[in-house]
Copies of this chain bind each other. A is one copy, B any other.
Amino acid sequence: MGVGLIGGSVGLALVSRRLAGRVIGIGRSAASLAEAKRGGTVMETTTDLAAGVAEADLVVVATGVAAIPALLDEIDAAVRPGTLITDAGSTKHSIVAHWEKRRRSRRGRFVGAHPIAGSHRRGPAAAAADLFTGRVTVVTPAKATPQKDVEESGEFWAAVGSTVFIMPPRDHDRLLAATSHAPHVIAAAVAAATPPEARQFTAGGWRDTTRIAAGDPELWADILLDNAPFVAKSLSRIAAVTEKMLAALEKNDRKKLVSLLEAAKEDRDAVGS
């Protein structure tokens, strides 16, 4: 469900690794579906969700986070009992909670997931068979999710190339606020705070720092709103470090400033290029 960067890459990985007999792309836009099929990311396409999932062994929901809860309900009403459903949403708590609210009446089995392989690029054309290779997918079971379902979902995300971590949805949302959602706000703020007359005096540093600000505003607004409390906490941690650096600057305290920049460099170097 969804044939963009993530959904298209799932399709390409399934096709190229021969992991599925049929790969059906489901979406609302006939043009995107046609583009996905031309690019070989799916074998069949349909705009009819119920028909698309009716015979599926596995359904992967790869749309913006705001659409996922309602889609899960629609999918669940159309699948065969016991069908495994997973998603690729950038936030997890509210999506998993939505499923769990009606766990007892569900036909399918849902285990939320987040392949950390986003990009400011979008659409079927951005898809790649190796998008997940060397990347992490966080699988986020609810307390009531059977271990067997967690394992099957993890096996799927490992089969398309990613390294799987399993953690509760809230832990995921807290960590991703720090590594993705708050940095997105900051990148956007740096871009927006740069006076237009300064643009021609930017170099690689500015372009790197602000790159993700080119991401889709609607998709990102939904991600940020869905994780607002953790995003706010991360932003306040970033603001606190910035304030320390600013205080050292204003006091002309070179030693303190160097030590803050050194600590930041160590944190950055620990991750790699």
Contact = CB atoms under 8 A, between A and B. Distances in A.
Contacts of A191: 264-265, 267-268
Nearest to A256: B221
Contacts of A254: 221-222, 225
A40 interface: no
Given A209-B211, A214-B265, A241 B116 contact: no
B258 A221 contact: yes
A268 B178 contact: no
Nearest to A272: B207
Interface in A106-149: 116-120, 135-136, 138
16 contacts: A116-B203, A179-B202, A185-B245, A186-B209, A187-B208, A189-B238, A189-B241, A189-B245, A189-B264, A192-B241, A193-B234, A193-B238, A209-B211, A224-B249, A225-B249, A225-B252
Interface string A165-187: 10000001001101110111111
Interface of A: 116-120, 135-136, 138, 165, 172, 175-176, 178-180, 182-215, 217-218, 220-222, 224-225, 228, 231-232, 234-235, 237-242, 245-246, 249-250, 252, 254, 257-258, 260-265, 267-273
Nearest to A184: B205
A250 to B, nearest CB: 7
Instruction: Tell me how many chains of this kind the complex includes.
Output: 2
Contacts of A235: 242, 246
B208 A179 contact: no
Given A183-B205, A206-B179, A242-B189, A249 B231 contact: yes
A179 B196 contact: no
Contacts of A192: 241, 260, 263-264, 267
B185 A242 contact: yes
Interface centre among A118, A136, A192 (most CB of B within 10 A): A192
B201 A212 contact: no
A175 B201 contact: yes
Contacts of A221: 254, 257-258, 261
